[in-house]
């Protein structure tokens, strides 16, 4: 990819935004001034101020979605979150990813003295002050994460989670090389670490698709009264956004729907089903060969390892005793609820018994940066309960499968 920070500003923007990467695209009677910014640069904030203050633009578009704008402008937004709904709808993994992103941004803010995305926030504030229409053109982070995750295999997802976790708990300063990449790239790309560059599927979802999505949104927001539009986007999106804005011929409405869709895949857990088949067959053969004693022994082995390790996971999360008991009781019934993870049950109980306080939500971004904070904060401890219970349940399933297979083979 070309270095967007070396783009030569177009003639119309050279004086107003001297030194900043700018591309100007004219299409359908609209003049789009694409301002490439660095999300951790005070110079980018000043460029936004100069551009909007010039009075040359009829509208302002920014690389934000409603959720990210709310996070930038309303520090207490997380306090309005319904954790029960998050768990019931299976969005705990997405919530954890958002925590990782927030922790990464906080580290950058503390190290560099500027809030990541400050130029985007400033663009919205100034546009409102000048009574200019504001268009949020970026795709929802949740959609981007789900579309990217869907393209990854089992081990790819594990690597992604490991990368997010490493960034989440790291207390080290962000390296100079990473900061330079961030100035030329994208916040989401940087938060996913090196894995974003190693995985074509992930890179396409967080960069390539979003370039096209933002170009589509700009075309969709076409208005006869808005002839000069300023689009403030990360420098890493500048070249791709300009290319799609110039050349895309598909109708913006259907194209947007396509880029927002998350195709339902028949995610058949073949590994889990295989192990379950081995275990259930082993238990059945145990009753057939050894009678009631051997069959009961295999059932006890199944309950002991799946329930025991799920309970151990909840214990390691410092969960409430009833949450631990829930994990122990629910885990052995995995064959009857393949699509519902054990951790969902223990996390729901944890939420009911230790309901997070308003202060927990206020402290969430700070507490999410340290292991100690994760255990102190009730919100993050619920996430730990979910994750570690599921991990224990999965280990129990696999271990039981090996034990039963060994007995059958012997």
User: Confidence band (pLDDT; 50, 70, 90) for 1?
Assistant: very low
Do 306 and 333 lie in one domain? The reply is: yes
What pLDDT, in 10s, does the model give residues 267-284?
555 666 666 666 666 667
Q: Which of 238, 260, 282 is the last residue of a domain?
A: 260
Q: How many CB atoms lie within 10 A of CB 89?
A: 10
Using CA atoms, how far residue 78 sits from 35, 55, 68, 207, 266, in Å, is 30, 35, 12, 26, 32
User: Confidence band (pLDDT; 50, 70, 90) for 182?
Assistant: low
What pLDDT, in 10s, does the model give residues 57-87?
999 999 998 888 887 777 666 656 677 777 7
User: Confidence band (pLDDT; 50, 70, 90) for 127?
Assistant: very high
* Rounded distance between C-alpha atoms, residue 41 and residue 22, angstroms: 16
Q: Which of 234, 260, 286 is the last residue of a domain?
A: 260
What pLDDT, in 10s, does the model give residues 205-262?
677 888 999 999 999 987 778 899 999 998 888 888 999 999 999 999 999 999 988 7
Q: CA dihedral defined by 47, 48, 53, 57, rounded to 10 degrees? A: 120
Residue 310 has pLDDT above 90, yes or no: yes
Whether 265 is covered by a domain: the verdict is no
* Rounded distance between C-alpha atoms, residue 344 and residue 16, angstroms: 54
Mean pLDDT of the chain: 78
Do 245 and 389 lie in one domain? The reply is: no
CB 187 within 8 A of CB 140: no
* Rounded distance between C-alpha atoms, residue 179 and residue 373, angstroms: 26
Do 182 and 55 lie in one domain? The reply is: yes
Q: Which residues contact 125 (CB under 8 A, 6 or more apart)?
A: none
Do 225 and 312 lie in one domain? The reply is: no
Strand partners, 33: 24, 230
Mean pLDDT value of segment 118-134: 93
User: Confidence band (pLDDT; 50, 70, 90) for 6?
Assistant: very low
Do 325 and 178 lie in one domain? The reply is: no
Whether 129 is covered by a domain: the verdict is yes
Between 354 and 359, whose confidence is greater?
Answer: 354
Q: So what's the pLDDT on residue 132?
A: 94
Do 34 and 59 lie in one domain? The reply is: yes
Using a pLDDT cut of 90, give the percent of the chain over it: 29
Q: What sign does the dihedral 263-268-270-271 (CA atoms) show? A: positive
User: Among 81-85, 101-105, 307-311, which range has the highest average pLDDT?
Assistant: 307-311
Do 101 and 234 lie in one domain? The reply is: yes
Q: Which of 228, 260, 292 is the last residue of a domain?
A: 260
CB 121 within 8 A of CB 73: yes
Strand partners, 230: 33, 60
* Rounded distance between C-alpha atoms, residue 234 and residue 184, angstroms: 8
Q: So what's the pLDDT on residue 18?
A: 55
Whether 140 is covered by a domain: the verdict is yes
User: Confidence band (pLDDT; 50, 70, 90) for 312?
Assistant: very high
Residue 170 has pLDDT above 80, yes or no: no
Shortest CA distance to 130 belongs to which of 59, 61, 69, 45? Answer: 59
User: Confidence band (pLDDT; 50, 70, 90) for 13?
Assistant: very low
Whether 332 is covered by a domain: the verdict is yes
Q: So what's the pLDDT on residue 217?
A: 95
Q: How many CB atoms lie within 10 A of CB 60?
A: 24
Indicate the SS3 state at residue 400.
helix
Do 25 and 132 lie in one domain? The reply is: yes
Q: Determine the Cα angle at 383 with ends 263 and 85, to 5°.
A: 55
Residue 191 has pLDDT above 60, yes or no: no
Model pTM? 0.68
Do 247 and 308 lie in one domain? The reply is: no
Would you tell me the crossing angle of helices 342-353 and 378-409 to the nearest 10 degrees?
150
Do 244 and 375 lie in one domain? The reply is: no
What pLDDT, in 10s, does the model give residues 361-403?
778 777 877 788 889 999 889 989 998 999 999 898 888 877 7
Split into its structural domains, the chain has a count of 2
Shortest CA distance to 57 belongs to which of 127, 3, 124, 156? Answer: 127
Residue 36 has pLDDT above 70, yes or no: yes
Instruction: Write out the residue range of the structural domain in which residue 362 sits.
Output: 270-409
Name the token pair of 178. 């990473």
Do 150 and 295 lie in one domain? The reply is: no
Residue 5 has pLDDT above 50, yes or no: no
* Rounded distance between C-alpha atoms, residue 307 and residue 310, angstroms: 5
Q: So what's the pLDDT on residue 133?
A: 94
Do 216 and 331 lie in one domain? The reply is: no
């Amino acid at each position: 990819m070309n270095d967007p920070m070396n783009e030569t500003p177009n003639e119309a923007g050279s004086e107003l935004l001297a030194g900043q990467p700018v591309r100007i695209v004219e299409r359908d009677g609209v003049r789009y001034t694409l301002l490439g910014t660095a999300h951790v640069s005070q110079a980018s904030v000043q460029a936004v101020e100069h551009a909007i203050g010039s009075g040359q633009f009829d509208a302002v578009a920014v690389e934000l979605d409603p959720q990210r704008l709310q996070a930038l402008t309303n520090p207490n937004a997380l306090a309005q979150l319904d954790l029960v709904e998050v768990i019931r709808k299976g969005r705990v993994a997405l919530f954890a990813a958002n925590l990782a992103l927030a922790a990464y941004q906080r580290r950058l803010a503390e190290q560099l003295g500027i809030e990541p995305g400050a130029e985007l926030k400033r663009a919205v504030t100034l546009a409102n002050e000048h009574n200019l229409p504001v268009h949020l053109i970026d795709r929802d982070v949740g959609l981007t994460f789900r579309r990217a995750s869907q393209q990854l295999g089992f081990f790819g997802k594990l690597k992604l989670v490991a990368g997010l976790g490493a960034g989440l708990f790291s207390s080290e300063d962000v390296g100079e090389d990473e900061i330079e990449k961030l100035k030329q790239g994208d916040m989401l790309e940087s938060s996913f670490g090196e894995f974003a560059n190693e995985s074509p599927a992930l890179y396409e979802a967080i960069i390539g698709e979003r370039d096209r999505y933002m170009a589509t949104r700009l075309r969709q927001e076409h208005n006869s009264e808005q002839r000069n539009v300023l689009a403030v986007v990360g420098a890493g999106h500048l070249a791709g956004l300009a290319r799609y804005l110039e050349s895309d011929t598909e109708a913006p409405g259907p194209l947007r729907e396509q880029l927002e869709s998350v195709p339902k895949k028949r995610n058949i857990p073949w590994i889990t089903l295989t192990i379950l088949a081995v275990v259930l067959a082993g238990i059945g053969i145990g009753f057939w060969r050894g009678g009631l004693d051997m069959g009961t022994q295999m059932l006890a082995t199944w309950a002991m390892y799946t329930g025991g390790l799920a309970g151990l996971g909840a214990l390691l999360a410092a969960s409430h005793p009833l949450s631990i008991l829930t994990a122990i009781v629910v885990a052995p019934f995995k064959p009857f609820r393949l699509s519902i993870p054990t951790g969902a049950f223990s996390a729901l109980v944890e939420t009911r018994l230790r309901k997070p306080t308003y202060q927990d939500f206020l402290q969430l971004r700070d507490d999410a940066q340290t292991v100690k904070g994760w255990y102190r904060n009730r919100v993050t401890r619920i996430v730990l309960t979910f994750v570690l219970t599921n991990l224990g349940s999965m280990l129990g399933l696999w271990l039981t499968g090996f034990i039963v297979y060994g007995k059958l083979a012997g």
